[in-house]
A = this chain, B = another copy of it.
Amino acid sequence: MEVTENSVGAIDGPTNPMVTPLLTDLYQFTMAYAYWKAGKHQERAVFDLYFRKNPFGGEYTVFAGLEECIRFIANFRLTEDEINFIRESLPGSCEDGFFDYLRGIDCSDVELYAIPEGSVVFPKIPLLRVEGPVAVVQLLETPFVNLINYASLVSTNAARHRNVAGKSKTLLEFGLRRAQGPDGGLSASKYCYIGGFDATSNVAAGKLFGIPLRGTHSHAFVSSYMSLDEIIDKSLSRKDGSSTCEDFVSLVQTWLNKIQWSSSLHGIFGETNQSELAAFISYALAFPDSFLALVDTYDVMRSGIPNFCAVALALQDLGYKAVGIRLDSGDLAYLSCEARKFFCSIEKEFAVPEFGKMAITASNDLNEETIDALNKQGHEVDAFGIGTYLVTCYAQAALGVVFKLVDINNQPRIKLSEDVSKVSIPCKKRSYRLYGKEGYPLVDIMTGENEPSPKVGERILCRHPFQESKRAYVVPQQVEELLRCYWPGNSDKRRETLPTLRDIRERCIQQLEQMRPDHMRRLNPTPYKVSVSAKLYDFIHFLWLNEAPVGELQ
């Protein structure tokens, strides 16, 4: 389901059919009623969706979830059944006319501008600017925030894991069983892929989104075998089909014996676990061309690795190439290095080219910190399977995305707060990313909708929206307008087509690479600057003074 727009340009509904107009807070409907009752429901309002702080102690965020929002508004309609439920949920005194009104609403009169999905984004800059009848746009708040919050959070988490693991490693998302509910799992698979993961174990996500699938076997598989006697059909034909080995089990045992008595490996292990060996052989007979074994059920170095190598060498005799091992417990730095040494010894001792390069996958409660620690210790892991900490965003389980009214009836609105970081930036705005000489983004700037856009080569004053003394001149080498039209409503704007998941992922990877490295580092990253134009700055502070009550000291 890569393409969500069908041949006539219609857009599919949200991936999860439970995302309906009722997936919202009750107060959106009570407010809609109050607007309607006051005759105010058609007033044209502009809302900004943004977040206030980058997650995970970092200085960047990946924006994700946009496609689901577009799917949602493209199909926004209340069914009769839903309207009846709303009627039951509101006070009996609510007038019928309101329900007739609800029956008629859709998003044909809503305009939605957004930063492209997969972009690197920063606090305060609107990710979405949504304009339309106030009652309708309010109904979109909760679903939009829900759809973007977790999506952006987990994409960012994935990008951070990629950042610490490095480009050369394979990253596998293994989080389905620990995710917050079924669709936490599906969303995690999708958005971790956007953030730079290579594959998932989640079959449903593979089917829905076309994400590459990966998997091996589990401890239960290994311990379900008791002995070699359980293997009934011991035959395996050579890969080229030229002949058949009638007793693959004996072939493996011969190799195990050879390893056991080899000069370089002698004494590392005694007798290996036979139920484990039986499980490995059985798995190899089923998947001779993609044999990958979980080696830590009994003892990695004394049983798992030798058993794996015996099976891999027997497969090699028949023309197959084993894939590698998975480590799921213990000291992953130490075990991966020991395993690598073992593989290299085998390559040398038995002259098996490439055997030393056998893939090592690690997968036990990994997160940014543990991968960083592994890097520092030195390890031989080729692929990381990451679950719990990735998909639940354990280090910070929520992103504070908000949706604030900035203009109604062409009147700019501000939301004040004792906490300056919670004051909203009023006005229908545009935003731009200004790039410096070296090609790095330097600063994002917000302007009023009708201000002239910043020009390349022009000296522009960028002001901190709230701190008077913080300002800087910038002469941009490139200016990128951030908000694009994804839903034109009744306007004649061209609608951006929705990119495929792969394109979104590509954009994300590219954008992350384009950032100045000091914004991206794990420890003490440099904050990226977010600013407003001088004109917008003045207007914010005029409005602020206008709205704030004057205190009386007593």
- B-binding residues in A (CB < 8 A): 14-20, 22-31, 33-35, 37-40, 43, 45, 47, 82, 85-86, 89, 91, 93-94, 134, 138, 141-143, 145-147, 149-151, 154, 174, 176-187, 201-204, 206-207, 213-221, 223-224, 226, 230-233, 267, 270-273, 282-283, 285-290, 297-299, 302-303, 329-330, 388, 392-394, 396-398, 400-401, 403-405, 408-409, 411, 413-419, 422, 547-552, 554
Contact among B91, B180, B408 for A287, CB-based, below 8 A:
B91
A174 to B27, CA, bound (A): 11
User: Do A413 and B549 touch across chains, with their CB atoms under 8 A apart?
Assistant: no
Which residues from chain B contact A554 at a C-beta distance below 8 Å?
Answer: 267
Nearest CB to that of A419 among chain B residues? B329
Could you tell me the distance between the alpha carbons of A321 and B416 in the complex, rounded to whole angstroms?
30
Q: Given A34-B221, A38-B285, A414-B223, verify A89-B213 contact (CB < 8 Å).
A: yes
Contacts of A548 in B (CB 8 A): 298-299
- B16 and A223 within 8 A (CB): no
CA of A178 to CA of B23, assembled, Å: 13
Cα–Cα, bound, A403→B176 (Å): 14
Q: A18-B16, A23-B203, A219-B415 in contact; A283/B34 too (CB < 8 A)?
A: yes
Question: Do residues A30 and B299 form an inter-chain contact, with CB atoms below 8 A?
Answer: no
CB distance from A77 to the nearest CB of B (A): 15
B176 touches A34 (CB 8 A): no
Collect the chain B residues with CB atoms within 8 Å of residue A393's CB: 180, 397
What are the nearest 7 A-B pairs in CB distance? A26-B215, A27-B215, A392-B397, A183-B183, A180-B180, A34-B286, A145-B177
| Contact B23–A185 (Cβ < 8 Å) | yes
Would A204 and B22 count as touching, CB distance under 8 A? yes
**Chain B neighbourhood of A388, CB < 8 A:** 397-398, 400
Query: Assuming the A-B contacts A26-B215, A224-B405, A548-B298, are A86 and B203 also in contact, with contact meaning beta carbons closer than 8 angstroms in the complex?
Result: yes
B38, A207: Cβ atoms closer than 8 Å: no
Which residues of B sit under 8 angstroms from A403, Cβ to Cβ? 220
Asked if B142 contacts A176 (CB within 8 A), the reply is yes
Question: Could you name 7 residue pairs across A and B whose Cβ atoms are closer than 8 Å?
Answer: A19-B182, A141-B218, A150-B180, A219-B404, A224-B405, A298-B416, A329-B422
Contact of A233 among B39, B180, B218, B416 (CB under 8 A): B39
Q: With the chains together, A552 CA to B393 CA distance in Å? A: 42
Q: Which residues of B contact A270 (CB under 8 A)?
A: 549-550, 552
Chain B residue contacts of A187, Cβ below 8 A: 180-181
List chain B residues, Cβ under 8 A from A287. 30, 33-34, 91, 93
> Is the pair A184, B186 in contact by a Cβ cutoff of 8 Å?
no
Q: Quick one: given A27-B201, A39-B232, A146-B179, are A91 and B297 in contact (CB under 8 Å)?
A: no
Please name all residues of chain B whose beta carbon is closer than 8 Å to the beta carbon of A28 when the two chains form the complex: 215
Q: Do B178 and A181 touch across chains, with their CB atoms under 8 A apart?
A: no
A409 proximity list for chain B (CB < 8 A): 226
Closest to A16 in B: B182
In this complex, what residue of B is CB-closest to A145? B177
Q: How far is the CB of A407 from chain B (nearest CB, A)?
A: 10
With A181-B180, A213-B89 as contacts: A329 and B34 at CB distance below 8 Å:
no
Min Cβ gap A150→B in Å is 4
Chain B minimum-CB-distance residue to A190: B181
How far in angstroms is the closest Cβ of chain B from A547?
Answer: 7
**Given A184-B184, A298-B548, A413-B224: A34 in contact with B215 (beta carbons within 8 A):** no
Min CB gap A419→B, angstroms: 7
Q: Smallest CB-CB separation from A24: which chain B residue?
A: B203
Q: Find out whether the CB atom of B177 lies under 8 angstroms from the CB atom of A224.
A: no
Assembly CA distance A153 to B514 (angstroms): 39
Cβ-defined contact, A146 with B39, below 8 A: no
Q: Does A218 lie within 8 Å of B398, measured CB to CB?
A: no
Cβ–Cβ < 8 Å partners of A93 in chain B: 287-289
Q: Are A392 and B282 in contact (CB under 8 A)?
A: no
Residue among A20, A27, A415 with max Cβ neighbours from chain B (10 Å): A27
Q: Is the CB of B404 within 8 A of A220?
A: yes
Q: Tell me the smallest distance from the CB of A536 to a CB of chain B, in Å.
A: 18
Query: A218-B27, A397-B392 known; A224 and B145 CB under 8 Å?
Result: no
Q: Besides A27-B217, A31-B220, 20 other CB < 8 A contacts? A: A17-B17, A18-B18, A20-B204, A23-B176, A23-B203, A23-B204, A25-B203, A26-B214, A27-B215, A34-B217, A35-B224, A91-B287, A154-B180, A182-B183, A183-B183, A220-B403, A272-B549, A298-B549, A329-B419, A393-B397
Residues of B within 8 A of A408 (CB): 224, 226
Q: How far is the CB of A546 from chain B (nearest CB, A)?
A: 11
Quick check: A38 and B232 within 8 Å, CB to CB? Answer: yes
Contact A298 B547 (CB under 8 A): yes
Q: Are B89 and A23 in contact (CB under 8 A)?
A: no
Q: Which of B15, B30, B223 interacts with A413 by CB under 8 Å? A: B223
